[in-house]
Every structure is written in structure tokens, then in C-alpha cells.
Amino acid sequence: MSINESNQLLTFKLGNETYGIQISKVREILTYPTVTPIPDASRWVKGVINLRGEVAPVIDLRVRFNINNDPIYTNRTIIIAVKTQDARMIGLVVDEVSDMENAELDRLYPAPDMGTSIAPEYLKGLFKKEDKMIVILDIDRILDKEEMQRLSRQAPEASHVLSTTA
């Protein structure tokens, strides 16, 4: 990966705030597809989808971070498919994709614990662009190991449903 690619961010909106993730983690951007629910999953896990032959959980970041606990899903709803450090594919539901930004990731402002719904462990830091701050998410920490293991155990049931409906 080149220095430039690792410093590029895909920015997106959750509510009125702008967030970013490293472009090197992004695999594709999709409109909201049919999602297969997973029994007993957390409220913010919408289910799983088939992403190029891989069963991927769909996480609604709006619900996960208490930004919108009653979101609407339409053909304008966006999923950003990302690959985590341990090579797992995850779909992240966001309000809209904004832009590409170049950021010096080694010069991010540290993420303060401001008592918001997004805990600092989910953040890489803050990036200042003109007069606003962009919150950079740490994709590898959006789901902790326990949550990923639970989803992995539940996914085979949903995987069976996906294979019979695909």
C-alpha cells in the first residue's frame, strides 16, 4: 500500500456529523440490498448479506452509535463494505457518502472522551479540515472480538437462508 493510499479517507455522514474511514479498508459502496436477519442479534446488526460470495454482517452505525435509533431504509440508504484487519467483511450502514480526503494519519488529533455515544476506543482520532473536525473511525474496533465471534456463530443459519434465496 502506498503512503498516499493509506492517508486517503472516505468521508460519510451519520446524522449531521462527518466521519471518515481509511480508503484502504473500503471494498465497495452499495445501495441497501435485501438483508437476511440474524436471530437474537443486537439491534444495530441488521443481518447479513452476500458480498461477492462472502457472508458479511450489516451494522447500522446510526443505531450502533445512538445517532438515529429508528432509521428508515430506502433505495438511497448506503452500505460501505469494508475489510477488517483480520480479513472479515462488514457492511456499514451510513446516511450518505460525502467525499475523499487526504489526511496525515500520523498527525490526527487524539479522540477525546466527551461522553458521547461513540466511545473513544472506536476512534482513530480527529482530522481538521478547514473549520470542521472529521471523526476518523477505527474499523477494526467497531465490533469487538466477542461480538464478531457471536456473529460468526449466528451467520451459518443466515448463510443457509442466503444460499437458498440467491
Q: What pLDDT is stored for residue 165 in this prediction?
A: 45
Q: What pLDDT is stored for residue 91 in this prediction?
A: 94
Residues in CB range of 140: below 8 A, 6 or more apart: 84, 85, 86
Q: Report residue 72: phi and psi, to 5°.
A: -105, 140
Q: Cα separation of 58 and 69, whole Å?
A: 15
Q: What pLDDT is stored for residue 166 in this prediction?
A: 45
Q: Cα separation of 25 and 29, whole Å?
A: 12
Q: What pLDDT is stored for residue 152 in this prediction?
A: 62
Q: How many CB atoms are closer than 10 A to CB 144?
A: 12
In residues, how long is the chain? 166
* Average pLDDT, consecutive stretches of 10 residues, N- to C-terminus, the chain (166 residues): 64 90 93 89 89 89 87 88 88 92 76 61 78 83 66 56 46
User: Domain holding 82: CATH number?
Assistant: 2.40.50.180
Strand 123-129 with 96-102, pairing? unpaired
Q: What is the DSSP letter of 108?
A: P
Q: What pLDDT is stored for residue 161 in this prediction?
A: 45
The tally of domains found in the chain comes to: 1
**Sign of the dihedral through C-alpha 39, 43, 45, 49:** positive
Helix (H) or strand (E) holding 5: helix 3-6
Give the domain extent around 98: 3-165
Q: How is residue 41 written as a grid cell?
A: 442479534
Q: What share of the chain is helix, strand, coil (3-state, %, to 5)?
A: 25, 40, 35
Q: What is the DSSP letter of 117?
A: S
